[in-house]
Amino acid sequence: MGMVRVERLDHLGLIAAVINDLGLVSIIDARLTPDEQEAITPGEAIKGMILNGLGFANRPLSLTPQFFANKPLDLLFRPGVEAAMFNRFKLGRTLDEVDTYGCDLFFSEIALAVCQHEAIDQRFNHLDTTSFALSGAYIPESDEQAIAITHGYSKDHRPDLKQAVLELMVSQDGGVRARPHLVISLPIANSTAKTMRQSSSNSALSRGFRVPSSSCLRSSAKR
């Protein structure tokens, strides 16, 4: 009698189907050029990180091969894909490529492509910021794409810790949950209504959008 191998699909099949339907892998591969010598593309690597992150594994990315060890990878990805291909070197190189491309730009372009694919109404949008408490020196290796991690107003009530700000713009489509299509990371000192309005007006993704009034932005920035 042959050996029986048990593989668990669980909810990951649904997540993989959504990623495939949106064409995220091809969208990512169009921005992060795949290396012909590597077994999986950057899009497939990021898809693997998404599945790992939503797999309730609570494990570091370096253990992604262990996470996929008992998963049907031919169904989640394609025939020939193996768990060992999602090693820390491949994932690390992919994250480095995203950083070089620009994390904010990368997220916004993909999110906008998804909005267009799903025909999400983008006439009305909401812009808000939130702060994240961080600890440590956070000295950047270079000034390129680096933000200042410093003390400032803390929305999570930890003024003793250094802060960074994440600015998120979402669309509101009737009957559909808000879809994010613009994300900007900022130093805490720039988390003002002026910065929010400048981001909303100058972003290429905001062309044709209705920019909120200064009073609305000021009220949002104080929360």
Residue 200 binned pLDDT confidence (cut-offs 50, 70, 90): low
Q: How far apart are CA 184 and CA 103, in angstroms?
A: 9
128 and 97 in a single domain? The answer is: no
Q: How far apart are CA 68 and CA 7, in angstroms?
A: 10
DSSP secondary structure letter of residue 4: P
**Domain boundaries, position 29:** 12-101
Residue 113 belongs to some domain of the structure: no
Domain count across the chain: 2
164 and 217 in a single domain? The answer is: yes
Higher pLDDT, 162 or 94: 94
**Residue 44 pLDDT more than 80?**
yes
Residue 174 belongs to some domain of the structure: yes
Which of 8-22, 75-89, 92-106, 200-214 shows the lowest mean pLDDT across its residues?
Answer: 200-214
CA 209 to chain centre: 22
96 and 185 in a single domain? The answer is: no
Contact 174, 121 (CB under 8 A): yes
Query: Which secondary-structure segment (H or E) carries 171?
Result: strand 162-173
Q: In what order do the strands lie in the sheet with 125-134?
A: 125-134, 162-173, 176-187
**Residue 164 pLDDT more than 60?**
yes
Residue 155 belongs to some domain of the structure: yes
The H helix count followed by the E strand count for the chain is 9, 3
Could you say which of 101, 132, 153 is where a domain stops?
A: 101
Q: What is the mean pLDDT of residues 94-100?
A: 94
143 CB neighbour count, 10 Å cutoff = 6
Q: How far apart are CA 217 and CA 65, in angstroms?
A: 44
